[in-house]
Structure 1
Amino acid sequence: MMELLTMSMKDLDRLKVIQTVLAGKLSWHEAAEHLTLSERQIGNVVARVRRDGPRGLVHRLRGRKMRKSYR
C-alpha cells in the first residue's frame, strides 16, 4: 500500500539537496551553506534520510492533533 506523504516546499528543497549529498555530488559543507544549517545538522538529516527515506525530513508531529489544544 502506498503511503501519502505531505511535504512543504522547504522539505522538498531539502530532500533534493540531501539526495545530491547522498549521490556524492555535493559535500556536507556545501549542503550546509545551501540550507543554512551546520554540518553537524546536515549529518543528522542525512542519517535520518538514509534510515527513514523522505519521511525522515518531515516533522514527526505533522498531521497529529496537539495534546494541549483547545477543543
Structure 2
Amino acid sequence: MHQEEKLEIVTDQVGRLTEGLTEIKLLIQQQAKTTRQQAQNIDRLSRIVERQAETADRLAIAVDRLIQDRQS
C-alpha cells in the first residue's frame, strides 16, 4: 500500500471519528436539556403535591368541625 493510500484511509477514519464525536456531543446536549426540563417538571409537580396536601388537611379540619357541630 502506498503512503498516499494510507493517508487517505487515515484521513477518512479521522473524518468518521470526528462525525461520531460530533453526534455524541449533540446527543449529550439533548440529554442535558431533557434532564433540566425533567428537573423543572419534578419541582413544579412537587409544589402542586404540597398544595394538594395542604388543601386535604384543610378539608379534613373542616369535616371534623362539621362532625363536631352536628354532635353538639
Question: Above 0.5 in TM-score?
Answer: no
TM-score by length of 2: 0.24
TM-score by length of 1: 0.24
Which has the larger Rg?
Answer: 2
More helix per residue: 2
